[in-house]
Amino acid sequence: MNEVFAAIESPETDAFISSESSLRRMFLKLESNPSVRQLVRALQGGEIQPEIVLSRMGKLASRTIDFRFRNPSDTALAAYLYAIAVATQDSLYLACRIALVALNTWLSKRIVEGIIGKWSNDYTSSTQYFALPPEYGLKPGVFQGRQFADTFNDFIQIPATFSEKPNLFCSQDSSQ
Amino acid sequence: MPSHLDRYVIGLGSTQDPKRLALQTKCRWDIPNAPLLARSPAEMKTAYAIHKKEHLTLRLRSMRSEYNCVGLVFGSRRTAVDIEDVLKIFADDGYRSISNDEAQNGDVVLYETRKGPAHVGVLWDRLDPLLKIPVVLSQWGLDGEYFHAIEDVNDEWRYRISIWTERLIHP
- State how far the Cα of B115 lies from the Cα of A94, in Å rounded to an integer: 33
Helix or strand holding residue B109 (H, E)? strand B108-113
Average pLDDT, chain B: 88
Average pLDDT, chain A: 73
- Residue B16 has a pLDDT of 64
Q: SS3 of A83, please?
A: helix
A24–B1 CB contact, under 8 Å: yes
**For A120-134, B34-48, B138-152, which range has the lowest pLDDT when averaged over its residues?**
A120-134
Q: A25, A103, A113, A125: which to substitute to probe chain B, counting the most B Cβ within 10 Å? A: A25
Residue B148 has a CB neighbour count (10 Å cut-off) of 22
Q: How confident is the model at residue B153 (pLDDT cuts 50, 70, 90)?
A: very high
pLDDT digits (tens, 9 = 90+) for B40-83: 999 999 999 999 999 999 999 999 999 999 999 999 999 999 89
Nearest CB neighbour to B143, from listed A18, A23, A170: A18
- State how far the Cα of B39 lies from the Cα of A70, in Å rounded to an integer: 5
Residue B33 has a CB neighbour count (10 Å cut-off) of 31
What residues have CB less than 8 Å from B50, skipping those under 6 apart? A11, A12, A15, A16
Q: Which comes out higher in pLDDT, residue A137 or B82?
A: B82
Taken in order A48, A70, B50, B136, the sign of the CA dihedral is: positive
Backbone angles phi, psi at A136, to 5 degrees: -100, 15
Query: Cα distance from B26 to chain A (closest Cα, Å)?
Result: 9
What residues have CB less than 8 Å from A35, skipping those under 6 apart? A4, A7, A8, A13, A79
A18–B16 CB contact, under 8 Å: no
**Which chain A residues are Cβ-neighbours of B47 within 8 angstroms?**
11, 14-15, 18-19
Residue type for position B152: D
Residue B119 in this model has a pLDDT that exceeds 70: yes
- State how far the Cα of A129 lies from the Cα of B6, in Å rounded to an integer: 9
- State how far the Cα of A63 lies from the Cα of B153, in Å rounded to an integer: 33
Q: SS3 of A68, please?
A: coil
- State how far the Cα of B160 lies from the Cα of B171, in Å rounded to an integer: 31
**Which chain A residues are Cβ-neighbours of B24 within 8 angstroms?**
173
Report A:115-134 residues touching B (Cβ under 8 A).
125-126, 129-131, 133-134
pTM for the model: 0.79
**What is the interface size between A and B, counted as CB pairs within 8 Å?**
145
Nearest CB neighbour to B38, from listed A68, A130, A163: A68
Task: Establish if A28 touches chain B: CB-CB under 8 angstroms.
Answer: yes
- Can you tell me the mean pLDDT for A29-39? 93
Task: Establish if A156 touches chain B: CB-CB under 8 angstroms.
Answer: no
Q: How confident is the model at residue A157 (pLDDT cuts 50, 70, 90)?
A: very low
Do the beta carbons of residue A170 and residue B28 sit within 8 Å? yes
Q: Which comes out higher in pLDDT, residue B82 or B128?
A: B82
